[in-house]
Every structure is written in C-alpha cells, then in structure tokens.
Amino acid sequence: MIRLSCSPDVQRIGKGMKNPFQMSNMLQTSLDTTGSYLGRQDILCQFHTSRSKEDEPLKTYFSKCSTYRIKLDHADNAINDRDFHTQIFTSLPSKYAMIKMVIKHERPLPTSEEAMHDLCELDTTASHMKELGDASRVGVAVLQCAGYHGRGCGRGHCRRGGRGGPS
C-alpha cells in the first residue's frame, strides 16, 4: 500500500523493501528535510538567499520567508527574530528604500510582524494609486479623443472643441 501511494521517484527510495515499518522509516528519514542536518541547512540557505521579486506582492514574499522560519522553528538552527528582521529589510527591492529608512529610524524599532504589516499596506496602497493613475490617464485620453482638451481659457482666448480662437 505504501509503495502504491507514492510517486515513481519516491517508490525508488523504498525499492526492494518488504517490511512496511522499515519502508516508512526509510521514507521519513529520506524525505523529511527538517529531520536531517543537511535538510535544515538547505532550508536555511533558501531563506538567506530568498529575495522579493519586483512583480511579486510583498505579502507573498513575506509568507515564503515565514514558511522557512516555521519549518526551522524547533530545530537547533532556528531563525531568530534578529536574523528574520535583517533578511526582510536587506532583501526588499529598491523601490522600498524610503519606507525602509523611515522604519529604520522609528523608536522603538518595529517588530518584524509590524514592519511586514506596514510594508504590505504600503504595497497595497501603491498598487491602488497606480491603478487610479492609470484609470485617470485613460479617462483624459478618452476625453481628448472626444474633442475636449480642457478648459483652455487664458490670456483672453478659450479653446472650444479643440479649436483656439477669441471668445
């Protein structure tokens, strides 16, 4: 039953084993990354090399970092608050430089959770502002195509319907 419930790659690990207890132990020690020293080191390496991508929402990146932290939570090489905080701030894209500077100078320093919350709110707000900016540019383009070019009044002349001339 164990062999049939596994993928072909996993079946190869237990190949030739007849005892289900031994097979189960072999699979656990082979596949449990947090159970082995090398597996924990790999998770730690993935954590330290992870970076937020420009097009990736910060919430997704923070969730990935938190997952690494949770996996190592009860291990002897757990990710402590200071290391987590450092990773979060050193791996952000350059567009967050200003908010990083503001948070860095807050006293007392915010916890990692508070900083991630603030950064996610900023990311959401910036996304909404970009959408609003895009919508307003489209609206202006539509109005200009329809012949409206703004009030255009000044210096005694008004433009009506896109044509200039005396009022």
Please state the pTM of the whole predicted model.
0.56
pLDDT for residue 130 is more than 80: no
Tell me how far CA of residue 13 lies from CA of 23, 26, 110, in angstroms.
9, 8, 46
Q: Is the peptide bond before 8 cis (omega within 30 degrees of 0)?
A: no
Write out pLDDT tens, residues 41-74. Answer: 888 999 999 998 878 888 999 999 999 999 888 8
Domain of residue 91: give its range: 41-109
The percent of residues above 70 in pLDDT, for the chain, comes to: 72
- Residue 140 pLDDT > 60, yes or no? no
29, part of any domain? no
Of 4-8, 100-104, 149-153, the least confident: 149-153
* CA dist list (Å): 30 to 2, 25, 64, 68, 126: 15, 8, 23, 19, 44
Q: 42-56, 72-86, 115-129, 143-157: which range is least confident on average?
A: 143-157
Q: What is the pLDDT confidence band of residue 84, given thresholds at 50, 70 and 90?
A: very high
| 129 assigned to some structural domain | no
Q: Which pLDDT score is estimated for 137?
A: 53
- Total domain count for the chain? 1
Mean pLDDT value across the chain: 75
Q: Residue 62 gets which letter from DSSP?
A: H
- Report if residue 164 sits inside a domain: no
Instruction: State the pLDDT at residue 132.
Output: 62
102 has a pLDDT exceeding 50? yes
CA distances from 90 to 19, 96, 98, 100, 118 (A): 49, 11, 13, 9, 16
Candidates 86, 85, 44, 90; CA nearest to 67 is 44
| Within-domain flag for 150 | no
| Average pLDDT estimate for 141-156 | 47
Whether 75 is in a domain gets the answer yes
Q: Domain for residue 58, yes or no?
A: yes
Q: How many CB atoms are located within 10 Å of the residue 45 CB? A: 11
Q: Which helix (H) or strand (E) holds 65?
A: helix 58-71
